[in-house]
Amino acid sequence: MDDIYPGWTGLEQGAQYLVDWILRPLSESRPAIWRRYDWYTGEFAETHTISPGGPLIVEGVGSYSLQSAPYLHSTIWVEANTPQRRARVESRDGLSTAQMWPLWAAQEETFHRKHRTREAADFLIQNP
């Protein structure tokens, strides 16, 4: 999902892009053609194609939504506490990205409440 979110305020929009660009075309046995978002330039960059017919694993906060649900075979909710999640972001992306954490975390909370993501999961993994 990190490749299709259109920036720090694009969680909901990225979830819709997943449906429009990838899940719907594949469900209709058409190639999925999507554009990678370049976080450094703040623009969409090159296109990528996914051929229909094989399994697809989508990972990320916006991968399950009410719109994507009809296209999904199963979902996994991976749960971690807030300090652990923030530490992972800082470790992976550095402090400049971590400064955007409050904005992103607020979107996550709203998104999950709206789409009832945890409740819809087929499997639940809890980090210690």
Tell me the CATH number of domain 11-126, given options 3.30.70.260, 3.20.20.70, 3.30.300.30, 3.40.50.300. Answer: 3.40.50.300
pLDDT in tens, 50-80: 999 999 999 999 999 999 999 999 999 999 8
The whole-number pLDDT of residue 89 equals: 80
- Give me the residue spans of the domains in the chain: 11-126
φ/ψ (deg, to 5) at 51: -80, 145
pTM for the predicted model, two decimal places: 0.91
Determine which of 13-22, 46-55, 68-77, 79-88 has the lowest per-residue pLDDT on average. Answer: 79-88
Nearest to 15 by CA among 96, 72, 89: 72
Res. 41: pLDDT tops 90: yes
- 32-36 contacts: CB < 8 A, separation 24 or more? 34/3, 34/4, 35/4, 36/3, 36/4
